[in-house]
Amino acid sequence: MPRNICHIVKAFGNKNQTYTKDLLELLNTTSNDNHFVFCHRLFVKTDRITVFTIKQYNRIQFLLIHLKLYTFDSDYRDLSKVLPLSVLQKWIVLCINKPDILHLHHMHAIPLPLLRYFKCNKVKVIMSLRGRDLLIDTQNETQQILLKQKLSLADIVHNISAYMSTYLKDQLHIESKVIYRGQELPKAKNIKTDFDKTDVIRLIAVGRLEWVKGHIYSIESVHRLRQKGYNVTLDIYGDGSLKEYFNYRINQLELQDSISLKGHLDNKELKEHYKNYDVALQPSLSEALSNGLVDLMMHNLPCVITNVGGMPEVIVHQKSGVVISVNDMVALDNAILEANSMNFDELRLHNETHKKQFSRDVELKEFNKLYNAV
């Protein structure tokens, strides 16, 4: 019998974060279960999966439903004692349409009392941890305590990298299931087939313009390499809050002709450009496992990365790129030169085998196993 599986996310359809929308639409259209989404913010509508948003009902509709639940549902009465009506109004649609399985994709997207309410009503709970949830927010003691409380209510915890799974077990003593984020295998015409060397080392970086992605270190590295006489260019694709800062630093270093902030580019169009670059950079300060990095690997770009989170699970040192210490960003300079000199045939053969574990088909299969296990 088909199950109702609710996916709770903060935002759905953000052009800068297409992974979740693509995954949930595919889960709904390729499985026998009924998947639907509950989100705080809806960017685009879709006919491939039902999407509910907070405050689905107006005030009068909410109060009528609230009175009915308050009268006949003792668990809801208890919930109404700890959550204000303004919060209950946002979530009432789920309270009257309780799913069989609740899949939480963003830990901050649901209040703890609501999770307890659903558990009391025998709803199975799966929690997918993001890198920020586990690796950054837990630096704050209050956030760490809240995370532990929520995780204690999970039937299954899902992580996107072996690194995160090990970290969770070591730090919080919680077991989890690893399912890598999947990508559609690239079109043959977009895959890099050789190192078409020129007198310019053409670098690419893909990621939000935020501190965690480490773009500033790439900018500084290009400056040092050019001072040493290397002809290096860098294109950075992505939007974010640090655009003004990066532009200022680029101008200050007189790199306007060497570094370009390309802004957001549709993912399908972006893939068409990968083969025109020599090396990809991602010197992140923290990362669970980067979707963009998986994509770059699948397109046979040698990648320079830091040894943080699950990134070395995607890029293997001296096989598909170069891994440097996050505590030695100056090492980017030599790493770029080393990656640009890698044996392309060896890289291509390694990626051909390695990329299979990051395919979208494998991901969908593993998630359906997860839903069957609860």
* Residue percentage of the chain with pLDDT more than 90: 80
**CATH number of the structural domain 4-53+98-182+360-373:** 3.40.50.2000
Q: What is the mean pLDDT of residues 283-301?
A: 93
pLDDT surpasses 90 at 141: no
Give the whole-angstrom CA distance, residue 311 versus residue 245: 26
* Cα–chain center distance at 162: 15
Phi-psi region of 235 (alpha: psi -120 to 50; beta: other; left: phi over 0): beta
pLDDT surpasses 90 at 247: yes
Give the whole-angstrom CA distance, residue 358 versus residue 181: 6
State the pLDDT at residue 228: 97
Q: What is the mean pLDDT of residues 195-216?
A: 94
Which token pair is 231? 């002809």
In this prediction, residue 22 has a pLDDT band, given cuts at 50, 70 and 90, of very high
DSSP state of 185: P
Of 231, 230, 232, the residue nearest 219 (C-alpha): 232
Q: How many CA atoms lie within 13 A of 281 on its CB side?
A: 33
**Residues 6 or more apart in contact with residue 334 via CB below 8 angstroms:** none
* Cα–chain center distance at 59: 35
CATH of region 188-357, choose from 3.40.50.1580, 3.40.50.450, 3.30.2040.10, 3.40.50.2000: 3.40.50.2000
State the pLDDT at residue 255: 98
With beta carbons less than 8 A apart as the criterion, state whether 52 and 36 touch: yes
Topology agreement, domain 4-53+98-182+360-373 and domain 188-357: yes
With beta carbons less than 8 A apart as the criterion, state whether 259 and 219 touch: yes
pLDDT digits (tens, 9 = 90+) for 44-94: 889 999 999 887 788 899 999 999 999 999 999 999 999 999 999 999 999
- Which amino acid belongs to residue 264? H
Q: How many CA atoms lie within 13 A of 257 on its CB side?
A: 4
pLDDT surpasses 90 at 23: yes
State the pLDDT at residue 245: 97
With beta carbons less than 8 A apart as the criterion, state whether 175 and 162 touch: no
Q: What is the mean pLDDT of residues 192-202?
A: 90
Give the whole-angstrom CA distance, residue 249 versus residue 261: 12
Helix (H) or strand (E) holding 262: strand 259-263
Give the whole-angstrom CA distance, residue 70 versus residue 79: 9
In this prediction, residue 216 has a pLDDT band, given cuts at 50, 70 and 90, of very high
Average pLDDT, the chain: 93
Give the whole-angstrom CA distance, residue 101 versus residue 118: 10
The stretches of 97-242 forming alpha helices (DSSP H) are 112-120, 131, 141-151, 162-172, 215-227
Domain ranges across the chain: 4-53+98-182+360-373, 188-357
State the pLDDT at residue 55: 72
* Residue percentage of the chain with pLDDT more than 70: 100
With beta carbons less than 8 A apart as the criterion, state whether 362 and 182 touch: yes
* Cα–chain center distance at 23: 11
State the pLDDT at residue 349: 94
Cα separations in angstroms, 101 against 108, 141, 163, 326: 18, 29, 26, 39
Give the whole-angstrom CA distance, residue 128 versus residue 135: 14
State the pLDDT at residue 333: 98
pLDDT surpasses 80 at 41: yes
Which token pair is 317? 């040192």
pLDDT surpasses 90 at 196: no
State the pLDDT at residue 183: 87
In this prediction, residue 267 has a pLDDT band, given cuts at 50, 70 and 90, of confident
Considering just the CA atoms, what is the radius of gyration of the chain in Å?
Answer: 23
In this prediction, residue 137 has a pLDDT band, given cuts at 50, 70 and 90, of confident
State the pLDDT at residue 180: 94
State the pLDDT at residue 249: 98
Give the whole-angstrom CA distance, residue 359 versus residue 333: 32
State the pLDDT at residue 19: 86
Of 264, 283, 204, 212, the residue nearest 236 (C-alpha): 204
Helix (H) or strand (E) holding 300: none
Which token pair is 81? 């004692």
pLDDT digits (tens, 9 = 90+) for 87-104: 999 999 999 889 999 999
State the pLDDT at residue 26: 95
State the pLDDT at residue 51: 94
